[in-house]
Structure 1
Amino acid sequence: MDSSSSVKIVSKHFVKPKTIAEESKQPYYLSPWDYAMLSVHYIQKGILFHKPIHYSIDAFLEKLRESLAITLVHFYPLAGRLSTIKTEIPKSFSVFVDCNNSPGARFIYATSDLCVEDIVNPTHVPLIVHSFFDHHRAVNHDGHTMSLLSVQVTELVDGIFIGVSMNHALGDGTSFWNFFNSFSVIFQAQEINKNDDLCLKNPPVLKRYIPEGYGPLFSLPYSHPDEFIRSYESPILKERIFSFSSETIRNLKAKVNQVCGTTSISSFQSLTAVIWRCITRARRLPLEQETSCRLAADNRLRMHPPLHRDYFGNCISALRTAAKAGELLENDIGFAAMKLHQVIAEQTSEKVSQMIDQWLKSPFIYHIDRLFEPMSVMMGSSPRFNKYGCEFGMGKAVTLRSGYAHKFDGKVSAYPGREGGGSIDMEVCLVPEFMDALESDEEFMSLVSF
């Protein structure tokens, strides 16, 4: 890949919902989980396609903008901006979404002289992929002055990359991929029947979760954002996508369950155990040093009563388990797998309620550099999200990529494998020294598909 390659912004537009819902004229309130996200990055995920034959970029962009306007009717908060109410005595800082005083979501068209193979072929993800996303390094609080949603279409020589940046205070991965899938469904329906009044199969449930007896407006004990907003600078990282075939995953799950004398450990828990163990070995930690592993867990169905599967908002916890490096490496894979399984099994409705109560008594804001300990592993995203279902009339995507957001040493994001059938791709971010060691780890590399 030519080091002079770049991404050139050609045009920028704002897109508003095609019709204005009556409810969008009211303030859209945030839940405790949403407030906690104000100082972390936007979610940045995107999909790479081969450019179809007989292709008009102008017609494609126009149809995409139209489809976005219709999608925003269903997801109208994403067309708004954050707004704040402050008081000095007592100190109070409340945030909500104003859907009226906003130009809408941002839509960007960019071009690049790169080819699909320049993105897919390198062993490590090239840094230029970060340029395929808007809102580079933005934190969610920036949604006061920046759009809460941005769609960037980057035209490559032989491909199209659709990168979406969504404010994480508005929703989690489940919400993000519901939006992305709905956007694709509406685009494809537009191609078939020009139906503006499309009914989505899985419409977002926009009614915010507000604990009983509270809200709808919550307040933080601050008078200025500088007191709780911190920027985050990622270290120099190597990022690589490791693929694991459905057969490898099946065999690994069977082996782990046999070792543990159970049938209840999932494929994802089994693979996470391998990654935690092998990254720990790659780091050559002292045997007495503690290392943690966190998994992003969806709480929607864990709550009592449960929230709807398509609840739009944040509803996740980063579940933590820990062990000494020596324990992880001297025991078999079942040791790590069982620790992960237990922490997930213990995430009951009572635990979720405790976390909410804790926030209500003493509101907190997540900061990436404080939330995740050094020398730990954080598993984000999920192979269950229907990421390859987003086709936009171009057929199945070639691959998935992400932006700069939320990347640090030990961050791993799980994607479904392109082949389907239970295959999984893992996007692993490590400092160069540890990535080199992981790529030399026989236990790990014996499971990777090439």
Structure 2
Amino acid sequence: MASHAFRRISECFVQPHRPTQMSNQICHLTPWDIAMLSSHYIQKGLLFKKPSTLVHPDHFTDKLLEKLRHSLSLTLSHFYPLAGRFVTHKTQDPPSYAVFIDCKNSDGAKFIYATLDMTISDILSPIDVPPIVHSFFDHHKAVNHDGHTMPLLSIQVTELVDGVFIGCSMNHAAGDGTSYWNFFNTWSQIFQAHDQGHEYEVSISQQLIHNRWFPNDCSPPINLPFKHHDEFISRFEAPFLRERVFHFSADSIAKLKAKANSECNTTKISSFQSLSALVWRSITRARSPPYEQRTSCKLAINNRPRMGAVPEEYFGNSIHVVSAETTTGELVENGLGWAAWKLNLTVAKHNERVVLELLRKWLECPLIYDLGSFFDPYCVMMGSSPRFSVYGNEFGMGKAVAARSGYANKYDGKVTSYPGREGGGSIDLEVCLSPDNMRALESDQEFINATSHSSLLY
């Protein structure tokens, strides 16, 4: 990729268009937020095709950037914590370390314009996701604690020969995937309203709830028992990985679900549990561990539907990771339904009582997730969700042709899910594996037979 010229042309900071009384306050972090301080930023983005008939290409780019910046400013009026910075209050005796978001004393969110002399086909045609995609995102390798000195939100617009990539890096201690896509969806909605001449009076579809939720026996701020962030912050460096996007049509997903439920004589196993079971079994076979080796499939799970006091509009983190475990021998010798049922039971057990107990234990012994030790070499981690509204986002260029992610939070066995571009229940999986494990997965007939070619209509 060295022959392709990537250039960062300009950058600026964007402030909320209309500061409110709440946006001048501080925002305390919950246990869910604090646990993310050593993880990477969320890095997700969308690739769009430029309009086919551009008489003045430079004029198109200038107008697009102006509209993106203006609509971002309007959007930040609703998502004002993303324009802030982290601040820490420390005491030495006894040692305590409290992190919060200062929503006022900040330059705002960063906005970057870059160019790359590659085409959409150069990005999407290779079997593996090209490493150059990582350059579409700011905050490369940054951890969330870096939000003390780095913007909590950074937008990078990368212009290709025939396309535009809009990449967003959002601090994961400020919000989770639900919060991330709520921001992206709202930004798109405001952009489109502005594009249609509705300058300021935009009624967004989802009113946000910014009051951070704390358990009954906990009041902010949460003081961590540390003197310095070096005691709990680590910087995980991923080994060389192959990243590949596999497409599963709605028909293929339906067949997997029917097979899993039939094998277990039930109707309770979901489409995503069935697909996750396929991925777990296939990657485990690709790794070829000993039959007695323990293996796990971990799922990022949204607590909002399980918590009466935490609605879908809640902005912040409200996630846990749940895990189904077994031995390699049991996993590969039993069928798809057996593995899917284990995942179903794991998800079903995660209710409000369990969430509150997990929070109680966390408050007794605060844990900051360390990517290097949290995920072992024999686990599969299913991240993100095909339920997020990814392809409903438009910025004057029609529907996106693809979604891609940056370097952040990737390791051998990380699988990120997106809805398929054609909708209807189709799913795309971005799979990260070592080169040897990826080659073995590509030869796994059960897995490959379930995949299909995505219809990229651009």
TM-score by length of 1: 0.98
Gaps of 5+ in 2: 454-458
Of all paired residues, the percent bearing the same amino acid is 56
Tell me how far apart the structure 2 counterparts of residues 14 and 255 of structure 1 sit (CA, whole Å).
Answer: 52
Aligned to 1:46: 45
Tell me how far apart the structure 2 counterparts of residues 121 and 219 of structure 1 sit (CA, whole Å).
Answer: 49
Amino acid aligned to 1:412: V
Counterpart mapping for 1:389-400 below 5 A:
389-400=392-403
Amino acid aligned to 2:13: F
Aligned to 1:269: 273
Aligned to 2:305: 301
Tell me how far apart the structure 2 counterparts of residues 307 and 215 of structure 1 sit (CA, whole Å).
Answer: 16
Find the residue that maps to 2:196 and give its secondary structure.
helix
CA RMSD, 1 decimal:
0.9
Aligned to 1:157: 161
User: Displacement, 1:364?
Assistant: 1.1
C-alpha distance after superposition, 1:287-339 (max 9, x if no partner): 11011110000001212x24111111100111011111111111111111111
Tell me how far apart the structure 2 counterparts of residues 100 and 299 of structure 1 sit (CA, whole Å).
Answer: 29
Aligned counterpart in structure 1 of residue 125 of structure 2, from 94, 97, 121: 121
Find the residue that maps to 2:63 and give its secondary structure.
helix
Amino acid aligned to 2:75: T
Please tell me whether the aligned partners of residues 292 and 321 of structure 1 are also in contact (alpha carbons under 8 angstroms): yes
Aligned counterpart in structure 1 of residue 84 of structure 2, from 80, 85, 106: 80
Q: Structure 1 residue 137 and structure 2 residue 169: aligned? A: no
User: Displacement, 1:19?
Assistant: 1.1
Counterpart mapping for 1:228-377 below 5 A:
228-303=232-307, 305-377=308-380
Aligned counterpart in structure 1 of residue 419 of structure 2, from 416, 421, 425: 416
User: Displacement, 1:199?
Assistant: 2.0
Q: Where do 4+ consecutive residues of structure 1 move more than 6 Å?
A: none
Amino acid aligned to 1:59: K
User: Displacement, 1:255?
Assistant: 1.0
Find the residue that maps to 2:218 and give its secondary structure.
coil
Please tell me whether the aligned partners of residues 6 and 128 of structure 1 are also in contact (alpha carbons under 8 angstroms): no
Please tell me whether the aligned partners of residues 263 and 338 of structure 2 are also in contact (alpha carbons under 8 angstroms): no
Amino acid aligned to 1:12: E
Tell me how far apart the structure 1 counterparts of residues 122 and 67 of structure 2 sit (CA, whole Å).
Answer: 27
User: Displacement, 1:223?
Assistant: 0.7
User: Displacement, 1:73?
Assistant: 0.1
Aligned to 2:456: none
Please tell me whether the aligned partners of residues 23 and 81 of structure 2 are also in contact (alpha carbons under 8 angstroms): yes
Tell me how far apart the structure 2 counterparts of residues 236 and 132 of structure 1 sit (CA, whole Å).
Answer: 19
User: Displacement, 1:132?
Assistant: 0.1
C-alpha distance after superposition, 1:138-163 (max 9, x if no partner): 00000000000000000000000000
Query: Which deviates the most, 42-51 or 364-373?
Result: 364-373
Gaps of 5+ in 1: none
Amino acid aligned to 1:82: F
Tell me how far apart the structure 2 counterparts of residues 202 and 410 of structure 1 sit (CA, whole Å).
Answer: 34
Find the residue that maps to 1:193 and give its secondary structure.
coil
User: Displacement, 1:197?
Assistant: 3.1
C-alpha distance after superposition, 1:21-56 (max 9, x if no partner): 111111111111000000000000000000113351
Amino acid aligned to 1:418: R
C-alpha distance after superposition, 1:148-207 (max 9, x if no partner): 000000000000000000000011000000000000000000011232132211122111
Q: Structure 1 residue 207 and structure 2 residue 211: aligned? A: yes
Amino acid aligned to 2:22: E
Q: Structure 1 residue 185 and structure 2 residue 184: aligned? A: no
TM-score by length of 2: 0.97
User: Displacement, 1:388?
Assistant: 0.4
Tell me how far apart the structure 1 counterparts of residues 190 and 409 of structure 2 sit (CA, whole Å).
Answer: 29
Find the residue that maps to 2:10 and give its secondary structure.
strand
Tell me how far apart the structure 1 counterparts of residues 405 and 413 of structure 2 sit (CA, whole Å).
Answer: 16
Tell me how far apart the structure 2 counterparts of residues 362 and 326 of structure 1 sit (CA, whole Å).
Answer: 35
Please tell me whether the aligned partners of residues 191 and 395 of structure 2 are also in contact (alpha carbons under 8 angstroms): yes
Please tell me whether the aligned partners of residues 260 and 338 of structure 2 are also in contact (alpha carbons under 8 angstroms): no
User: Displacement, 1:370?
Assistant: 1.4
